[in-house]
Amino acid sequence: MTATLTPEVEAADRQPTPPSSRVRLRRLWDRLTPFGFLSPTLILLIILMVTPIAMVVGYSLMDRVITAPESNFVGFENYVEVLTDPVFATAVKNTIYFAGVSVVAHFVLGMGFALMLNSPILSHRLKAVFRTIYILPWLFTIAIVAVLWRMLLSPNGIVNYLVTTFGFTESSVEWLSDPNLALHAVTFINIWSGYPFFMISLLAGLQGIPRDLYEAARIDRAGPIKQFLHVTLPQLKPIVISMALLDFIWTTQQFALIWMTTGGGPINRTEMVSTYTYKLAFATYDFSVASAAAVIVLVLSMVLAFFYVRHQKSRD
Amino acid sequence: MTALSAGAPVAAPTRADIVRRQRLKKIALIVALVLGAGFPALPILWMLSSSFKTNGEIFEYPPRIITENFSFDAYQAILTDPEKLRFFFNSYFIAGSVTVLTLIVAVLAAYAFSRFQFPGKRIINVMVISVQAVPPITLLIPYFGLVVALGLYNTYPGLILTYMVFTLPYAIIMMTGYFNTLPKELDEAVKVDGGRPFTALWRVLVPVSVPGMVSVGVYTFMIAWNEYLFALTLTRTNDMRTVPIGIQLLMGQHAYEWNQMMAMSVLGSIPVLVLFLFFQRYFIGGMAAGAVKA
């Protein structure tokens, strides 16, 4: 204690110059303080984000990475291989359909349920009960959702019992292995599991709309539909846009649901960019080409993220 | 005059009419809500019901919700199998560790973002936000190389560290938002008394931020509990597998034991359901804040 104090006392005795250097040191220390608090985050981001991205870009320009001891620089050869692969084109198309339809359905269902749950007619307790029920699918792990729907949609499952009993079809349907149905089926499962996230955000948004806007609309003799179109929707627009972008980004990255229901089959009908890349790496062990696919997926996601961040900034 | 008013009752609805209309509206709404609730609830009800059946009854015609062989056998099979219990232990341990570590790192970072001005703040902030959009599949291949090179393949730290990349950005953004709602005078007072910034954070901000930390914690736990891709790729032996992978293994092992899969699904959903029921308010607040402000 005293040892550390002495230099300070000495410095104080030698009046003229030292204080300024001490002040400067103090200022430097102050300036470094925020970086001290940020250092764990920065270290983690460098190890787990910057380095891996640099690595994957490096891999994508080499051949035989990871599997062979020596690999050579091959330029954009791996990219050419991915971009000319018809399966990759299919995967992109499937991913866009899967994510696009999911986002629209999440919005429609989320909005419908949120409007019902926001009605002032119902008591708070009743609303809380229904809200809990409507959130349920979102609380189940995607692996569980996948197993559950495999059981429900199995050839002898309850869904087939219902469609045959009520006469929609003659015989049971192979929802997940029929090439014409599989993509719709996995999209439906994703819709089921993902709408609550939209619903909750919209519910919060609905509660934030000032009441007098509706009063004013009512004075102008606007009916419920007009109130929805001219008050509710414009007020929720910023939330809807950011939710839709976020949902689209996340859905394009969906892996577990596809992997555990169809595995990308039958005959690539449900292949997504995520399953395509995974198979290249961990089924065919072609890590170089897989890295090229991974970088392409990254670039596409970053384009979407750019719009998301720009939208968020414009709201601040 | 009397004839006119009798002929046009619509012009002036009585109180009773309004009350009746309100009640009709309410009934219609409740009917709609009950019907709509079938969409989320029926599949889950079927999961629950199947977990109490014998495997032979899962696909019986016609299907029944409760069968005469109603039993806890499937649960017993799961809960007495040490390999399956290990899946649960792994999931709890990993998700718990990720939650604690994420909260510590995020609170420190959020304090810097909320209370300091420094060069590079905007860039770091944009970096944190855009990390959320980096696809896991892009990181999978280099992580695989990195984790193997660091000797972390098939270990807890390997999974815990990689999960933090996905939990941190959201946690930092939410905690920063929470700190921003607290008046700066709170921590200024500590500094005037000669306290260091860390004292201000630890003694003043953290205690009043418990609600924010709970929502971040619950959300983080959920992300870690649900993770699938990295758990699948960065572990090899069954003693390191988590619940989502365990369920998948169950699917591959023998002929499908659907009742056991459903029992394990129910057991695997309990932690998140319990967290949700207890912290519903924080949870919904957190989800909404993430969407409204993030």
Tell me the per-residue pLDDT of A283-314, one tens digit each, with 9 for 90 and over.
888 899 999 999 999 999 889 888 887 887 77
What is the least distance, in Å, from the CA of B113 to any CA of chain A? 8
Q: Are A73 and A61 in contact (CB under 8 A)?
A: yes
Q: Comparing C-alpha atoms, which of B247, B262, B256 is closest to residue A156?
A: B256
- Identify the closest residue of chain B to A195 by CA–CA distance: B40
Cα distances from A112 to residues A200, A215, A285, B233, B287, in angstroms, run: 12, 22, 46, 39, 19
Size of interface A-B (CB pairs under 8 A): 267
Cβ(A113)–Cβ(A199) under 8 Å? Answer: yes
What span, in angstroms and rounded, lies between the C-alpha atoms of A33 and B200?
A: 13
DSSP at B77: H
Helix axes A182-207, B280-293, angle to 10 degrees: 90
Residue of B nearest to A274 (CA): B137
Strand, coil or helix: A63: coil
Here the ipTM equals 0.85
> How many Å apart are CA A155 and CA A160, to the nearest integer?
6
Shortest Cα–Cα distance, A13 to chain B (Å): 23
Superfamily holding A77-315:
MetI-like (1.10.3720.10)
Task: Find the DSSP H helices in chain A.
Answer: 2-13, 18-45, 51-60, 77-83, 86-117, 124-135, 142-152, 158-165, 182-207, 211-219, 224-227, 233-252, 256-261, 273-282, 287-315
Among chain B residues, the shortest Cα distance to A285 is held by B141
Nearest to B47 among A148, A156, A312 (CB): A148
Smallest Cα distance from A193 to chain B, Å? 8
**Domain range annotation of chain A:** 18-60, 77-315
**Which of B127, B142, B248 is opposite residue A45, by nearest beta carbon?**
B127
Q: Which residues of B touch A53 (CB under 8 A)?
A: 134, 138-139, 142
Q: Which residues have a Cβ under 8 Å from the Cβ of A285 and sit 6 or more positions away?
A: A67
Q: Which pair of tokens denotes residue A202?
A: 């919209």
Nearest Cα of chain A lies from the Cα of B114 at a distance, in angstroms, of 10
Prior bond of B207 cis (ω within 30°): no
- Cβ-defined contact of B225 to A141 (cutoff 8 Å): yes
- State in Å, rounded, how far the first CA of chain A is from the last one: 49
Say if the Cβ atoms of A38 and B46 lie within 8 Å.
no
Of B63, B137, B164, the CB nearest to A294: B137
B244 vs A56: CB contact, 8 Å cut-off?
no
- Separation CA A134–CA A199 (nearest Å): 9
The pair of structure tokens assigned to A18 is: 């030292």
- In angstroms, rounded to a whole number, what is the distance separating the alpha carbons of residues B142 and A295? 11
Token pair belonging to A28: 């430097």
Per-residue pLDDT in tens (0 to 9) along chain B, 294 residues: 444 444 444 556 788 888 888 889 889 999 999 999 999 999 999 999 999 988 878 887 788 887 777 888 889 888 999 988 999 999 999 999 999 999 999 999 999 999 888 888 888 888 888 788 889 999 999 999 888 888 999 999 999 999 998 899 989 988 998 888 888 888 777 777 777 888 888 888 888 888 889 888 988 998 899 999 999 999 999 899 999 999 888 887 666 788 889 999 999 999 889 988 888 777 666 555 544 433
pLDDT tens per residue across span A149-191: 999 998 888 898 888 888 788 888 888 888 889 999 999 999 9
For residue A43, what are its two tokens?
Answer: 């270290």
Residue of chain B with shortest Cα separation from A119? B29
Nearest-CA distance from B228 to chain A in Å?
6
CA terminus-to-terminus distance, chain B: 63
What would the pLDDT profile of A216-272 be if each residue is shown by its tens digit?
Answer: 888 888 888 888 898 899 989 888 988 898 899 889 999 999 999 998 878 889 999
Mutate to test the interface with B, among A31, A107, A133, A176 (most CBs of B within 10 A): A133
- Position B278, amino acid: F
Task: Kindly list the residues from chain B whose CB atom is less than 8 angstroms away from the CB atom of residue A132.
Answer: 276-277, 280
DSSP-assigned states of every residue in A213-243: HHHHHHHTT--HHHHIIIIIHHHHHHHHHHH
Report the pLDDT value the prediction gives residue B1, as an integer from 0 to 100: 43
Which residue in A108, A126, A144 has the most chain B C-beta atoms within 10 A of its own C-beta, making it the best mutation to test that interface? A144
Closest partner CB to B248 (pick from A157, A249, A260)? A260
Q: Would you call A140 and B245 a contact, using CB atoms and an 8 Å cutoff?
A: no
Distance between CA B210 and CA B8 in Å, rounded? 61
Say which residue the tokens 């030292």 belong to: A18
CA distance B240 to B251: 18
Cβ–Cβ below 8 Å for B229 and A122 = no
